[in-house]
Amino acid sequence: MIDRELKIGDKVWYPAVGTRLVREDCQVCFGNLRVVVRLGNNIEVSTPCSHCGRGYEGSSGYTNNWERVARAEQVSIAGMTVRVRSDKREIEYALLAPCVTVTGEDLFETEELCAIEVTKRNEAQSDAEDCSRKSSKKSSIEKLTWNVGYHQREARELRAKIAYHDERALVLKARNKEIKG
Ligand SMILES: [Zn+2]
């Protein structure tokens, strides 16, 4: 942390630890938009990828993922706000890249001091996030097999409906003929 009062334009170090949004090739269909699922009877079914799918818009081939960032970044002070409470000056500094507002507690004089803080903050965050990422891919694959089952069942039911309605229509035509004849 930095105790002294900084000025606009001062260059210091900021521990950038957290997540940022990154576009990544879909890790289930790898950009093919479809995947092949082999059923228990060895029949292979091609189905749209639901891992990168967006409902009726279909699969996109990529996913937007939150990626971990953990590094010491050199930043310059772009703005500052000073509040005086009793006789204590509380200062907030505005950074542009990343665009955040911080206090002296989040800033460091040297890259080395900042790197120590990066390690400390990173260890605290990483465990929980790794866990949630793994479970997302697993549930997509489970969803794919469910989708295949669902669409096959729907198609089978619709085919049966078509057959039923076709037959009813034929019967009706036959009756009409009988009546006319
Ligand atoms: Zn995909």
* Separation of CA 29 and ligand 1 centre (Å): 4
The residue with tokens 């990544």 is 24
In angstroms, the CA 164 to CA 32 distance is: 37
* Separation of CA 136 and ligand 1 centre (Å): 13
pLDDT at 126 over 90: no
Query: Please, which pLDDT band fits residue 140 given cuts at 50, 70 and 90?
Result: confident
3-state secondary structure of 89: strand
* Separation of CA 25 and ligand 1 centre (Å): 8
| Environment of ion ligand 1 (residues, CB < 5 A) | 26, 28-29, 49, 51-52
Least confident of 47-56, 80-89, 124-133: 124-133
* Separation of CA 69 and ligand 1 centre (Å): 24
* Separation of CA 23 and ligand 1 centre (Å): 12
Query: Please, which pLDDT band fits residue 136 given cuts at 50, 70 and 90?
Result: low
CA-based R_g, the chain, Å? 30
Mean pLDDT calculated for residue range 113-130: 82
pLDDT at 23 over 60: yes
Number of residues in the chain: 181
What are the helix (H) ranges across the chain?
111-180
Q: Is 125 exposed, middle or buried (0-12, 13-18, 19+ CB in 10 A)?
A: middle
Least confident of 12-16, 40-44, 77-81: 40-44
* Separation of CA 39 and ligand 1 centre (Å): 19
* Separation of CA 132 and ligand 1 centre (Å): 19
Higher pLDDT among residues 34 and 130, named by residue: 34
Query: DSSP secondary-structure letter at 32?
Result: S
In angstroms, the CA 133 to CA 131 distance is: 6
